[in-house]
Chains A and B, each alone.
Chain A
Amino acid sequence: MKLRLTRRQVLTGATLAAAAGGVAGRLSALEGVALGPRTGQTGGDTLVVIFLRGGADGLNIVVPYGDADYYRLRPSLGIPGPKDRSATAAGRCLELSDFFGLHPALAPLVPLYQEGKLAAVHAIGSGDQTRSHFEAMATMERGLARDSGAANGWLARHLTVTGSALDSPLRAVSITETVPDSLRGAPNVAAMLSLDEFRLTAPNVLPTGSGNKVFHRVQKQAAQANSPTRADAIAATLRGMYGGTATEETKVLTGAGAETLKALDAVKRLDPNHYKAEFGVTYPKSEMANGLKQVACLLKGDVGLEIACLDLGGWDTHVAQGREAGWQAGRLGELAQGLGAFTKDLGPRLERTTIMVMTEFGRRAAENSGLGTDHGRASCMFLIGGGVKGGKVYANWPGLGPTQLEGPGDLHVTTDYRDVLAEIVTRRLKNTDLDAVFPEYTPHYHDIFRAV
């Protein structure tokens, strides 16, 4: 069924068909919709996790142009260094340090790097040796060294230990078709392709045996039943029901019902279909940008959002990966333009937002005969936000020499991905129970984040 093919669809880039919300219309009044602090909230950042599905080629994203082996291994795909006069200016990577450069399609991220709000981590990955998308993603999303297949996600564990019954129903939102493994095991998670789906649906009773004759009447009735008026009327009655007296035991439900109704009200007032970005930002027309726009809408609505998950597919570049232009450059462009718009639109809210871009594994150091790259090990990660000690590439660089590569010729994993996740959990999400989130693992901090 469609619900369960998602993982495969993500890999083939066939999902996230989020209806593009029009940007026309007036910004709704935001005042008065805030839900106020909730007991379970940690008081930490809102975390936005973007998962690049398919194994993104970190070596061509954060380019180790200072490593001569890189060009030896990638005679066709290697991206020239920032000062390489033999290449066109548009074909060179963008200087991050005297060793690393950024893929030119990621130009929209350069200002964030310069402002110190973006950091990259390189040669990062998990202990998974299978080089299987499914295994590697399962491992990483569960936050384990190797996947036993029987655990909840790392974000689910974080939400569980910091949660309470009166948490916002929009505390964890996944802008995906189904709940990702990182959130699996936390039942109170909303998965939606569009914020528009977070609404009450009024009954729509169709006359039976109508055939075509009453088609127009049916349409009219459907419109009437689904009109905001009916949903409002139902919400009003529910408000009455859930606002009634409750006992000590049943108020857990009535309280949650009242919160849900408030969140519904807030989202309605946010009017996601007519969301207008601030600071002169126009979101590009892409799935990534549209997803991030939904997140911005939730953030600005103060609906109690703590975790947002988004997917971007199309990274499984076995053939015709492209260099400064081409397939991968297109995916990077969508990511960077979306993030550029999103971070600018957040304005001062970026100070209390942490954005993480991750992938299940990197790709083979040497290019293949199809001008692509095969499944590998370490890749890179981006961290963006006010709490990031940015303007820096964090890497214990393992090198790309013949003896330095891992397995069939892959970038060695020198930083465990959980080191970064754990630092986010403690320093930015203010969760003190790290053992619950990453059991049986003692993380080593790389001091990438300031404490909230």
Chain B
Amino acid sequence: MASNTEFIAEAVPASDLPTAPPSVPGRAVAAVAVGAIALSAVGCGEVRKQAQKVTGPLPATYTALPQNVVAVASALHVLNRVGFGPKPGDVAHVVEVGPAAWIEEQLAYRLEERSTVFPGMPGSTKTVEIDQVEEDPTVDWRVNALETQQMEQDAPENLYCTDYDQIQHEMAQAALLRAIYSRRQLREQMADFWTNHFNIFSLKNDGRALLPVDTARVLRPHVLGRFHDMLTASAKSPAMLAYLDNNQNQKRDPRTGGGANENYARELLELHTLGVKSGYTMKDIQAVARCFTGWTVTGGFKRGQLDYEAGRHDDGMKYIPFLNLTIMPKGGQKDADRVLETLSAHPATARFLVQKLCRRFLGEVPPEVAAKAESAYLRSGGDIRKTLRPILLDSDALLKPAGCKPILKRPLDMLVSANRALAADTDGGEDLQRHLVQMGQPLYEWPMPDGFPEKAAAWTGSLLPRWNFAMAFASNAVPGTHVDLNAPLAAAKARTEAEQLDALMEAVLARPAGSEEVKPIKAQVAGHMQLARAAGLPEATVLAEAAGLLLASPTFQWK
């Protein structure tokens, strides 16, 4: 089903789109082309800025929530968990097509032949899986317009000669734009999931020069693909090799006494595949580390690329007891591949990944669901879509109304869902990112390989920055991010104060304003608005405070 039915032409906020507003994808393409020609005379940064303007987000329409409270709750639940929360119109759409069908739509793909550009091998093709959901074209345009994202595609080695802070910002900007505007919401949730699973601390050494390549070529192509492909790409990712010191992993040198660096091998087993409780020992780590000796990152002219130095590889025989895997001598580069293959297919890996996915989407690990997902993983050779099906589509879990444990939104989730709820027009830039930093989740800056914490207690101490973000966001005090609070009011034809609050509540909390669940909050905000009006506050401020309070409410922090 076409998900662009929510978009209409006439709701473009004129003030934000000074040039011809893009209405439907076709027209937007034309607008960009015209813009690009017109801008060819100005500086590169200017082009980028204006291109972002021209290709701003497609407008969303506020529609009334369906009457069926249970169906609305179910749709909201699925949109919150499978994606980053509803944007206007999404709840109605999911109620209409049904939550299961919407999830199926997010999982669906088609196969396409793509030519690959390998040096010396013209004309070769590979089959790629393309999500069935058509992407909002403005998402790719805006991400590709970012200078360092462009550089990643054209000449990644130049990232070393670029301002590292710019790389960092544009990495976060790309992640935010995608999470907020992508129609492939499950893909973006999974991108965040795997970014944390294969976490890399960008501020270590030259991490920022390497990370864009890791994201674009290692993680994103595989987030819904085969785990083995992603694991292999990650093991050979220069960013990962440098982050977990495998670039220093070499065979024991009898003269210096220096030898294998076990850092990567340890995290590979503990965090990437088997899980720390699976029962492997130090012997396994040491043997795996020996298999990965020699894998390093190039320096010099073409720095930052994968390199295998045969002279540094330990080519002796290795035995990995936990995997019952014997690696015969002189295996060279194949040693690592054997290990990764065995690890990917191991039941402990299936269990570890499934438990993590269950916690991510369900907030808990229901044994029956987990068992189905584990067997799906093992049967399908680690197909991530197939592994996700039992987790997302089990009638007793995500699809059951009020069926799952609540999950506290992490700051990224909270900030993105706020932008989606009020159909913000944002550049995802530094000013928005600063709020994320203050809330405690600076993207790509978690130092440890385990990724940002999952448990709620890790995040409850930074509520003040959340509240301040809510207030700044609702009052358009975040430069580069704009919301129109009158839009939901106009769509609901709200005239009275009560109707205004109802419209705001349905937009922000995506629950019928009359529902029992939000009654206490409604009373609080209604009282607040009354007092604010009595204090003589301008109407716009009253609305901003009300919207800010709804975004700051406990209800909005959970998903």
| A residues at B contact (CB < 8 Å) | 1, 3-5, 148-152, 163-169, 171, 178, 181, 184-185, 187-190, 198, 200-209, 221, 224-225, 229-230, 233-234, 236-238, 240-242, 244-247, 249-250, 252-257, 260, 264
Contact yes or no, B558 A253, CB < 8 A: yes
Question: In the complex, A45→B321 CA distance in Å?
Answer: 47
Per-residue CB proximity of B456-471 to A under 8 Å, as 1/0?
1111111110011001
Contact yes or no, B430 A238, CB < 8 A: no
Query: Which residues of B in the span 514-539 have a Cβ within 8 Å of any Cβ on A?
Result: 520-521, 524-525, 527-528, 531-532, 535, 537-538
Contact yes or no, B545 A257, CB < 8 A: no
Specify the chain B residue showing the minimal Cβ separation from A203. B475
Q: Given the known inter-chain contacts A203-B474, A205-B541, please indicate yes or no for A198 contacting B447, CB distance below 8 A.
A: no
Query: Which residues of B in the span 327-358 have a Cβ within 8 Å of any Cβ on A?
Result: none
Q: Given the known inter-chain contacts A150-B201, A237-B524, A253-B456, please indicate yes or no for A242 contacting B446, CB distance below 8 A.
A: no
**Does B477 reach chain A (CB closer than 8 Å)?**
yes
Q: A169-B464, A209-B15 given; name 12 further pairs at CB < 8 Å.
A: A150-B244, A151-B448, A187-B461, A200-B467, A203-B474, A233-B545, A234-B548, A238-B467, A241-B554, A253-B557, A256-B460, A257-B463
Q: Which residues of A contact B524 (CB under 8 A)?
A: 237, 240-241, 244
CB distance from B136 to the nearest CB of A (A): 27
Query: Which residues of B in the span 116-173 have a Cβ within 8 Å of any Cβ on A?
Result: 165, 168-169
Contact yes or no, A150 B532, CB < 8 A: no
Contact yes or no, A264 B471, CB < 8 A: no
Question: In the complex, A189→B460 CA distance in Å?
Answer: 11
**Does B544 reach chain A (CB closer than 8 Å)?**
yes
CB distance from B377 to the nearest CB of A (A): 28
Q: Which residues of A contact B458 (CB under 8 A)?
A: 187-188
Contact yes or no, A204 B448, CB < 8 A: no
Q: Which residues of B contact A3 (CB under 8 A)?
A: 434, 437
Q: Given the known inter-chain contacts A205-B538, A244-B554, please indicate yes or no for A149 contacting B461, CB distance below 8 A.
A: no
Q: Which residues of B contact A224 (CB under 8 A)?
A: 537
Q: Which residues of B contact A247 (CB under 8 A)?
A: 406
Contact yes or no, A233 B541, CB < 8 A: no
Q: Which residues of B contact A221 (CB under 8 A)?
A: 538, 541
Q: Which residues of A contact B541 (CB under 8 A)?
A: 203-205, 221, 225
Contact yes or no, B460 A253, CB < 8 A: yes
| A-B residue pairs in contact (CB < 8 Å), sample of 10 | A5-B165, A150-B201, A171-B461, A187-B441, A200-B464, A203-B545, A225-B475, A241-B524, A250-B554, A252-B456
Q: Given the known inter-chain contacts A185-B448, A203-B477, A253-B408, please indicate yes or no for A149 contacting B205, CB distance below 8 A.
A: yes
A-B pairs, 7 with minimum CB distance: A188-B461, A203-B475, A256-B460, A149-B204, A165-B457, A187-B440, A203-B544
Interface size of B by Cβ–Cβ distance < 8 Å?
Answer: 65
CB distance from A198 to the nearest CB of B (A): 7
CB within 8 A of B548: which of A152, A169, A203? A203
Contact yes or no, B165 A257, CB < 8 A: no
**Does B4 reach chain A (CB closer than 8 Å)?**
no
Q: Which residues of A contact B472 (CB under 8 A)?
A: 201, 203
Q: Which residues of B contact A167 (CB under 8 A)?
A: 461
Question: In the complex, A383→B538 CA distance in Å?
Answer: 55
CB within 8 A of A150: which of B168, B263, B464? B263
Q: Which residues of B contact A256 (CB under 8 A)?
A: 460-461, 463
CB distance from A261 to the nearest CB of B (A): 9
**Does B552 reach chain A (CB closer than 8 Å)?**
yes
**Does B449 reach chain A (CB closer than 8 Å)?**
yes
| B residues at A contact (CB < 8 Å) | 15, 165, 168-169, 201, 203-205, 243-245, 263, 405-406, 408, 430, 434, 437, 440-441, 446-449, 452-453, 456-464, 467-468, 471-472, 474-477, 520-521, 524-525, 527-528, 531-532, 535, 537-538, 540-541, 544-545, 548-549, 552-554, 557-558
Kindly name the residue among A151, A166, A260 whose own CB sees the greatest number of chain B CB atoms within 10 A.
A260
Contact yes or no, A169 B475, CB < 8 A: no
Q: Which residues of A contact B549 (CB under 8 A)?
A: 234, 237-238, 241
Contact yes or no, B475 A205, CB < 8 A: yes
Specify the chain A residue showing the minimal Cβ separation from B461. A188
Question: In the complex, A273→B532 CA distance in Å?
Answer: 27
Q: Given the known inter-chain contacts A185-B446, A204-B475, please indicate yes or no for A237 contacting B467, CB distance below 8 A.
A: no
CB distance from B527 to the nearest CB of A (A): 7
Contact yes or no, A187 B453, CB < 8 A: yes
Q: Which residues of B contact A238 (CB under 8 A)?
A: 467, 549, 552
Question: In the complex, A50→B329 CA distance in Å?
Answer: 54
CB distance from B191 to the nearest CB of A (A): 21
CB distance from A298 to the nearest CB of B (A): 15
Contact yes or no, A237 B527, CB < 8 A: yes
CB distance from A400 to the nearest CB of B (A): 30
Specify the chain A residue showing the minimal Cβ separation from B200. A150
Question: In the complex, A166→B460 CA distance in Å?
Answer: 8
Q: Which residues of A contact B165 (CB under 8 A)?
A: 1, 4-5
Contact yes or no, A250 B538, CB < 8 A: no
CB distance from A8 to the nearest CB of B (A): 11
Question: In the complex, A237→B542 CA distance in Å?
Answer: 13
Specify the chain B residue showing the minimal Cβ separation from A3. B437
Question: In the complex, A338→B538 CA distance in Å?
Answer: 46
Question: In the complex, A164→B440 CA distance in Å?
Answer: 17
Q: Which residues of B contact A255 (CB under 8 A)?
A: 460
Q: Given the known inter-chain contacts A205-B538, A241-B549, please indicate yes or no for A233 contacting B532, CB distance below 8 A.
A: yes
Q: Which residues of B contact A241 (CB under 8 A)?
A: 520-521, 524, 549, 552-554
Contact yes or no, B405 A249, CB < 8 A: yes
Q: Which residues of A contact B430 (CB under 8 A)?
A: 1
Q: Which residues of A contact B203 (CB under 8 A)?
A: 4
CB distance from A326 to the nearest CB of B (A): 34
Q: Which residues of A contact B204 (CB under 8 A)?
A: 149-150
CB distance from B90 to the nearest CB of A (A): 24
Contact yes or no, B525 A237, CB < 8 A: yes
Contact yes or no, A244 B532, CB < 8 A: no
Q: Which residues of A contact B538 (CB under 8 A)?
A: 205, 221
Specify the chain A residue showing the minimal Cβ separation from B452. A187
Question: In the complex, A48→B520 CA distance in Å?
Answer: 42
CB distance from A175 to the nearest CB of B (A): 16
Question: In the complex, A232→B201 CA distance in Å?
Answer: 39
Specify the chain A residue showing the minimal Cβ separation from B545. A203
Question: In the complex, A207→B540 CA distance in Å?
Answer: 9
Contact yes or no, A188 B468, CB < 8 A: no
Specify the chain B residue showing the minimal Cβ separation from A142. B447
Question: In the complex, A252→B460 CA distance in Å?
Answer: 8
CB within 8 A of A234: which of B463, B520, B545? B545
Question: In the complex, A74→B149 CA distance in Å?
Answer: 53
CB distance from A16 to the nearest CB of B (A): 18
CB distance from B268 to the nearest CB of A (A): 13
Q: Which residues of B contact A4 (CB under 8 A)?
A: 165, 168, 203
CB within 8 A of B457: which of A198, A202, A252, A260? A252
Question: In the complex, A249→B531 CA distance in Å?
Answer: 32
Contact yes or no, B544 A205, CB < 8 A: yes
CB distance from B424 to the nearest CB of A (A): 15
Q: Which residues of B contact A253 (CB under 8 A)?
A: 408, 456, 460, 463, 554, 557-558
Q: Which residues of B contact A250 (CB under 8 A)?
A: 406, 554, 558
Question: In the complex, A224→B437 CA distance in Å?
Answer: 28
Contact yes or no, A150 B449, CB < 8 A: yes
CB distance from B80 to the nearest CB of A (A): 15
Q: Which residues of A contact B449 (CB under 8 A)?
A: 150
Specify the chain A residue showing the minimal Cβ separation from B472. A201
CB distance from A304 to the nearest CB of B (A): 10
Q: Given the known inter-chain contacts A203-B472, A205-B475, A208-B15, please indicate yes or no for A163 contacting B457, CB distance below 8 A.
A: yes
Question: In the complex, A415→B440 CA distance in Å?
Answer: 35
Specify the chain A residue showing the minimal Cβ separation from B411. A187
Q: Which residues of B contact A171 (CB under 8 A)?
A: 461
CB distance from B196 to the nearest CB of A (A): 13
CB within 8 A of B463: which of A148, A169, A178? A169
Question: In the complex, A229→B537 CA distance in Å?
Answer: 12
Contact yes or no, A202 B471, CB < 8 A: yes
Kindly name the residue among B406, B408, B461, B528 whose own CB sees the greatest number of chain A CB atoms within 10 A.
B461
